[in-house]
Copies of this chain bind each other. A is one copy, B any other.
């Protein structure tokens, strides 16, 4: 996302981007009942109405209230409720209790959104050029932030609905199972001195920078993601019962939680809960909702390993960004269909890498409060790459670094092998 530097073009571009991202959020919640928007089924999950309010709070607090222009706050009690984790902005309401709040209602939060939308449109329309130029970078971050929360909102509502014995459907997908497996091929790369990371003017997060060189040994990477059918073989071969395949922390977790399949698989593991309701699994589709521990154990079982994020980026950077994204409205990964090239690198499923999430050499956080956006999470998490079927397409890029704890699996995470 690169925006113009010409003042009038900038106003128009920002407003168009802003309105489009806000409108899409609204469309995403259309299938939901007010009751759906309240529930928090685990501390990692936030209620839908919290996402609606938090993304709005971001624009209110970091744009409108920092703009130097008059702005009347919608409700003085909201900032504490809808600050996610910015300690520099005060003590947030405890994350694990977000599901205890029936008020403000979904309707209240829609009014909050309209209030802030109008104020931001007014600001972009009426403020002096200098003000617009000053807030533009934060507006752009706010837009990207809301895109991230569009994905989180869908992950979270997916978890909420999947816990419900009534197996409610978010939205039925128009796609039918393919059931035709595309063979897995190994694509070879020479490695050597390569550069990864972002540079230039386009928007990126701070954690994608600076672009820097490193050495890669020659490697091979799989042409597509691991499928449901392949993962079912791992299970059938005792994958969840063989300690030697697992990292020690993973094995402890498997024992403690009694895991024996990816999250959302049901019964005899031929079906799973999805955003499209409970449906039969297609053996050709990418396995998803697996933790790092499961991805690593599968790779060990398969005699392979996970790629590093540098290998992944080096292999993927030449591909155009094409794949199954949120816009496809599949809400679930789709089988690969082609051979001979790196399929599914973008979209479908986030791909676990072997790389712990940390700063690139010379990393500098965003300035001010936004310095808390990414840097403070740089321990204990692993990098995932490529985007998923619920990522907005514009949000994905080869340098993008997503990150989760190794035990988490409610995101659309999958596996690509390397060796």
Contact = CB atoms under 8 A, between A and B. Distances in A.
Interface of A: 33-39, 41, 49, 77, 80-81, 85, 87-88, 93, 97, 99-106, 160-161, 163-166, 168, 193, 212-215, 217, 243-244, 246-251, 292-293, 296, 354, 356, 358-359, 361-362, 371-372, 376-380, 382, 406
Given A38-B39, A160-B100, A163-B100, A88 B244 contact: yes
A33 B102 CA distance: 8
Contacts of A358: 354, 356
A168 B103 contact: yes
Contact of A37 (B35, B214, B244, B251): B35
Nearest to A246: B376
7 contacts: A34-B35, A35-B38, A87-B251, A97-B163, A103-B168, A217-B361, A244-B372
Contact of A35 (B87, B106, B160, B248): B106
Instruction: Give the interface SS of chain A, mostly helix, strand, loop or mixed.
Output: mixed
A41 B97 CA distance: 8
B215 A193 contact: yes
A247 B376 contact: yes
B100 A164 contact: yes
Contacts of A371: 244
Contacts of A35: 34-35, 37-38, 49, 102-103, 105-106
Contacts of A97: 163
A81 B163 CA distance: 12
A214 B191 CA distance: 12
A205 B243 CA distance: 22
A166 B354 contact: no
Contacts of A41: 100
A127 to B, nearest CB: 30
Contacts of A354: 358-359
